[in-house]
Amino acid sequence: MSTVVRHVMIRGRVQGVGYRAWVATTAQASGLEGWVRNRRDGSVEALLAGDKGVVADMIKACHRGPSASRVDAVVVEEAGAELLDQRHAGERFSILPTV
């Protein structure tokens, strides 16, 4: 098993449609670690950490999102595990405040 960390930016109609909650629920069900948050520019930002294949599947799912969303773009970058420190203490996956 190969563990990876990916920073993901999602643009489109992704706020006010349950996108953050969908990411958190889907990621947790997949056994991933990380966090998700809204950004003031209207995008959603996520950090996904776990098995390479599971992270890749989650990123593919982010292109669709929940049914009320419209995803225009998903930008993925490699990230360091130190970004996991932004999670709430004791949580494997957190919904963070808007930045």
Residue 64 known to be catalytic? no
Interacting residues of 76 by C-beta distance below 8 A, sequence separation 6+: 6, 7, 8, 59
Active-site entry in 38, 40, 64, 87: 38
Token digits of residue 67: 């049914």
Active-site entry in 6, 20, 37, 87: 20
Residue 20 known to be catalytic? yes
Token digits of residue 29: 């069900």
Q: Single out the residue of 69, 81, 66, 70 nearest to residue 35, CA to CA.
A: 81
Torsion angles phi and psi, residue 69, rounded to 5: -90, 165
- Residues serving a catalytic function are 20, 38
